[in-house]
A = this chain, B = another copy of it.
């Protein structure tokens, strides 16, 4: 499959489609029209067709989409047929919440290690089978467990150093939840997740709606 430069918004919607298709598939639903899929996802059918058109032809005229096929194709596009090995650094409340969020595993993201700088947290068990490890073990564990993605839920002042350590250890993608920008070398991808932005966006829409 060839990869074009696809708008980020399309990629985000594809992951929404994948989630709904996965629910439908679990209910043994075989076929769905684009109108119905749009309804399920809270979007419009034209948008769905446009998003899918980036990647080729999907669906059958007069029938709709075969749920299993479309799910397979979207998951392939998103790289979700692959399973990703993830480490989390900073086992505070948000870190624990992420570690125990079952949906990540369903989508192919496997937390295979968790680290914390606080000796009081090291050795604690999280979820089914994770144990909080000391930062000193990070380079060895990232290599041994072939970890590709690092999640930073450490406090803001520590975030850059954590990112540096993850990257040095071999991680190629970083999801940063700390409220600070971090820099990574060329070739490594970093995404900043800022939960306050979601609030800001909601507040802005509420305010403009009032006018």
Q: Which residues of A contact B (CB under 8 A)?
A: 3, 8, 11-12, 14-16, 18-20, 40-42, 77-80, 82, 84, 92-94, 96-98, 100-101, 103-104, 107-109, 148-149, 172-175, 179, 181, 183, 187, 189, 191-209, 211
A200 to B18, CA, bound (A): 10
Contact (Cβ within 8 A) B16 A194: yes
Contact (Cβ within 8 A) B84 A197: no
Contacts of A174 in B (CB 8 A): 202
A16 to B198, CA, bound (A): 11
Known: A41-B181, A211-B3. A197 touches B16 (CB 8 A): yes
Main secondary structure, interface of A, reads helix
Contact (Cβ within 8 A) A93 B103: no
Contact (Cβ within 8 A) B193 A195: yes
**Most B CB atoms within 10 A — which of A18, A84, A97, A199?**
A199
**Nearest 5 A-B pairs (CB), nearest first?**
A93-B97, A15-B200, A79-B207, A94-B97, A3-B208
| Cβ contacts A to B, 7 pairs, < 8 Å | A16-B197, A40-B181, A78-B203, A79-B206, A107-B200, A109-B203, A191-B205
A100 to B153, CA, bound (A): 14
A98 to B82, CA, bound (A): 31
Distance from A191 Cβ to chain B, minimum over Cβ atoms (Å)? 5
User: Copies per complex?
Assistant: 2
Contacts of A15 in B (CB 8 A): 194, 196-197, 200-201
Residue of B nearest to A193 (CB): B198
Distance from A99 Cβ to chain B, minimum over Cβ atoms (Å)? 9
Contact (Cβ within 8 A) A101 B107: no
A179 to B16, CA, bound (A): 10
Contacts of A197 in B (CB 8 A): 12, 15-16
A207 to B96, CA, bound (A): 27
Contacts of A96 in B (CB 8 A): 93, 97
Q: Which of B20, B98, B201 contacts A8 (CB 8 A)?
A: B201
